[in-house]
Amino acid sequence: MLAAMALLPLLSGCVVVVAGAASAGTVAWVEGRLDAPLDANFDQAEKAANRAVSQLQFVKISENKDALNAILTVRTAEDKEVKIKVVRIGDTTSQVQIRVGLFGDNAQSLAILDKIKVNL
């Protein structure tokens, strides 16, 4: 499993599905972006993303939110831009999309996802 995940950054432009990564659900790596379902309503997921950003000590650059989407733009200590998008899917489900840097960083994306899930 780790060997397959190590190859993910080399597969840009492809969709790679990693079942069971970062706990339950299917995590997809899409062109440098991690997509994952969340068993939480939109407001809970958006608050969890904000708490994760704070706990990871990222610097928040901007935040835009409406009733269907929330987009957080933050920077890491390495000055990498991270975009976290929370999308309302239904009354009790959401999706989170995470991109670290221009080409994506699978390990950091999974770490951010784990921190979001801990805060749900």
Residue with tokens 């407001």: 43
Whether 46 and 86 have beta carbons less than 8 Å apart is answered as yes
Q: What is the pLDDT of residues 69-112, one digit of tens each?
A: 999 999 999 999 999 999 999 999 999 999 999 999 999 999 99
Question: DSSP readout, 38-61?
Answer: ESS-HHHHHHHHHHHHHHTTPEEE
Structural domain boundaries enclosing 59? 37-118
Q: What is the CATH number of the domain that holds 94?
A: 3.30.310.80
Query: Is there a domain that residue 17 lies in?
Result: no
Query: Is there a domain that residue 73 lies in?
Result: yes
DSSP 8-state class, residue 89: -
Q: What is the pLDDT of residues 29-75, one digit of tens each?
A: 999 999 999 999 999 999 999 999 999 999 999 999 999 999 999 99
Query: Is there a domain that residue 13 lies in?
Result: no
Query: Is there a domain that residue 97 lies in?
Result: yes
Query: Is there a domain that residue 12 lies in?
Result: no
Spatial distance between the Cα atoms of 89 and 42, rounded to a whole number of angstroms: 8
Q: How many CA atoms lie within 13 A of 107 on its CB side?
A: 4
Query: Is there a domain that residue 9 lies in?
Result: no
Domain count across the chain: 1
Query: Is there a domain that residue 59 lies in?
Result: yes
Closest residue by Cα to residue 111 from 23, 42, 18: 23
